[in-house]
Amino acid sequence: MSTLAESHNPGGHSVTEAARNRRFGPMYSRNVKAVIARGLMATKSSNWMVMLSGFFEPVLYLISMGVGLGAIVGAVQGPGGQEISYAAYIAPALLAVSAMNGAVYDSTWNVFFKMNFAKLYQGMLYTSLGPLDVAMGEIFLALLRGLLYATGFTAVMGIMGLITTPWAILMIPASVLIAFGFASFGMGITSFMKTFQQMDWINFVMLPMFLFSATFYPLSVYPQYIQWLIQAMPLWHGVELLRQISVGIFSPATAIHVGYYLVMIVLGVMLTAGRLRKLFLK
């Protein structure tokens, strides 16, 4: 045994000793990658059926609404005023919705469960990890998942002949931007949640946002004040941003949509960081 210990102890200085001599603040130990590695390992061994279902959800919507409903609707007006198929109209919106759903699920329910039931964070936080390592790791994993979904969905759009411009590839990073906005906020909001009933409020906000954010029909069908309300919500900006990218037609509004998410990310990260102690250290 001593040979083993020595092999890790060149000059009597063990790696554990080195690990102990690092100096950090109370919240962060610059070890986000350990949290990420854990998430990847867990996905590999168990949750990948869940992962697959997350990918198929928007695809199923696209097939049923886009192809099915699209047969009745026919062609509609795209962002630049040109005629596009109904499927091509709703596909980027569905991508934005799936980016939102994935990020919100990962940063709210998933965090809530791991914190209160699986006690995963409790174990992590008894190590050198700080709350910020855990939060950043979890957000990164949510974004990675969002990236995979977005890539898959964009490929499906390509196969269905709904992509007409090379600009469409930018829908993938834009989806990650949308996911980041929702994930950073979601975790901060979860820090206020104590019961399942409170967690249900999240769904109560998400479902109407999904249905009414100009996902399936243009905003112009609403009276003016409803339009303002929807334009204040984050999903509408995501839907419009991806819809513009999908046809490669941009306007000054594009910058506003991107800016909306940048602000959301900054505020969300600040909120989450400020609530970290409440979130993880009781």
In angstroms, give the least distance from the CB of 249 to other proteins: 44
85-91, long-range: CB < 8 A, 24+ apart: 85/162, 87/62, 87/160, 87/162, 88/162, 88/164, 88/246, 88/247, 89/243, 90/61, 90/62, 90/65, 90/66, 90/215, 90/216, 91/62, 91/66, 91/153, 91/157, 91/160, 91/162, 91/246
Exposure string for 84-109, b = 16+ CB within 10 A, e = fewer: bbbbbbbbbbbbbbbbbbbbbbbbbb
Q: Which is nearer to other proteins, 123 or 218 (CB)?
A: 123
User: Under the criterion CB under 8 A, does residue 208 sit at the interface with other proteins?
Assistant: no
Q: Which of 63, 73, 76, 120 binds other proteins (CB under 8 A)?
A: 120
Q: Which is nearer to other proteins, 24 or 167 (CB)?
A: 24
Q: Which of 53, 64, 77, 122 binds other proteins (CB under 8 A)?
A: 122
Would you give the binding string for other proteins spanning residues 21-60, x where CB under 8 A is met? -xxxxxxxx-x--xx-xx--xx--xxx-------------
Under 8 Å CB-to-CB from 212, ≥6 apart: which residues? 230
Q: 87, 222, 241: which is closest to 179 by C-alpha?
A: 241
Q: Which is nearer to other proteins, 8 or 194 (CB)?
A: 8
Task: Say if residues 219 and 227 touch (Cβ distance below 8 Å).
Answer: yes
List the structure tokens of 210.
């999904």
Task: Say if residues 156 and 185 touch (Cβ distance below 8 Å).
Answer: no
User: Under the criterion CB under 8 A, does residue 125 sit at the interface with other proteins?
Assistant: yes
User: Under the criterion CB under 8 A, does residue 129 sit at the interface with other proteins?
Assistant: yes
Would you give the binding string for other proteins spanning residues 167-186, x where CB under 8 A is met? --------------------
Q: Please give the residues from 5 up to 24 whose contact with other proteins meets the rule CB under 8 A.
A: 5-6, 8-9, 12, 14-16, 19-20, 22-24
d(CA 92, CA 84): 13
User: Under the criterion CB under 8 A, does residue 82 sit at the interface with other proteins?
Assistant: no
In angstroms, give the least distance from the CB of 275 to other proteins: 14
Residue type at 157? M
In angstroms, give the least distance from the CB of 15 to other proteins: 5
In angstroms, give the least distance from the CB of 190 to other proteins: 18
Binding site residues, other proteins, CB under 8 A: 1-2, 4-6, 8-9, 12, 14-16, 19-20, 22-29, 31, 34-35, 37-38, 41-42, 45-47, 118-120, 122-130, 277, 281-282
